[in-house]
Amino acid sequence: MLRNFRRVRNLKRYRKIVGVLARHGFGSIFVNLQVDRYLPLPPRIFKQSARPPSLTAAEHLRVALEELGPTFIKLGQILSIRPDLFPPQYILELSKLREQAPATPWEEIHALLKKEYGDSLETAFKEIETEPLGSASLAQVHAAFLADGSPVVLKIQRPNIRHTIEADLDILTDLASLAQRTSWGKVYDPIEIVTQFAFTLQNELDYHREGINADRFRKNFRHETHLLIPEIYWDLSTPLVLVMERIEGVRIDHLDELEHQGFDRKQIARHAARIHAPAAPPEAGARLAIDDFGTGYSSLTYLRRFPVDILKIAKDFIEPSSSHRQEWAFTGAILALGKRLGLTVVAEGIEEPAQLERLRAMGCELGQGFLFARPATLSELAAAGRLEARGPVVGQASDLSDPRASAESAA
Q: What is the mean pLDDT of the chain?
A: 78
Asked if residue 159 has pLDDT above 70, the reply is yes
Asked if residue 391 has pLDDT above 50, the reply is no
Which of residues 279 and 128 earns the better pLDDT score? 128
Cα→Cα distances 329→45, 49, 115, 227, 406, Å: 50, 46, 47, 18, 4
Which of residues 286 and 236 earns the better pLDDT score? 236
Averaged pLDDT for residues 196-208: 88
Q: Tell me how crowded residue 285 is: count the other CB atoms within 10 A of its CB.
A: 12
391 Cβ neighbours under 8 A, 6+ residues apart: 320, 321, 354
Q: Specify the pLDDT at position 106.
A: 96
For 71, list phi and psi in degrees, rounded to 5.
-60, -45
In this structure, which amino acid lies at residue 199? Answer: F
Q: Poorest-confidence range of 1-5, 53-57, 90-94, 157-161?
A: 1-5
Q: Poorest-confidence range of 25-34, 42-51, 159-168, 176-185?
A: 42-51
pLDDT in tens, 96-154: 888 777 889 999 999 999 999 999 999 999 999 999 998 888 999 999 999 999 999 99
Q: Specify the pLDDT at position 368.
A: 74
Q: Specify the pLDDT at position 294.
A: 56
* Burial of 162 (C-beta count, 10 Å sphere; 0-12/13-18/19+): middle
* Burial of 91 (C-beta count, 10 Å sphere; 0-12/13-18/19+): middle
Asked if residue 222 has pLDDT above 90, the reply is no
Q: Tell me how crowded residue 329 is: count the other CB atoms within 10 A of its CB.
A: 28
Averaged pLDDT for residues 16-20: 91
Q: Specify the pLDDT at position 116.
A: 95
Cα→Cα distances 364→63, 269, 405, Å: 38, 20, 16
Which of residues 392 and 218 earns the better pLDDT score? 218
Q: Specify the pLDDT at position 272.
A: 74
- What is the value of pTM for the model shown? 0.63
Averaged pLDDT for residues 348-354: 75
pLDDT in tens, 246-262: 998 888 778 888 888 88
8 Cβ neighbours under 8 A, 6+ residues apart: none
Asked if residue 407 has pLDDT above 90, the reply is no
Percent of the chain with pLDDT over 90: 29
Please state, in angstroms and rounded to a whole number, the distance separating the CA atoms of residues 239 and 65. Answer: 26
Averaged pLDDT for residues 205-216: 89
Three-class secondary structure of residue 209 per DSSP: helix
Domains of the chain with bracketed CATH: 2-98+167-189 (no CATH), 106-160+206-245 (3.30.200.20), 255-290+309-408 (no CATH)
Q: Strand pairing of 134-135 and 151-157? A: unpaired
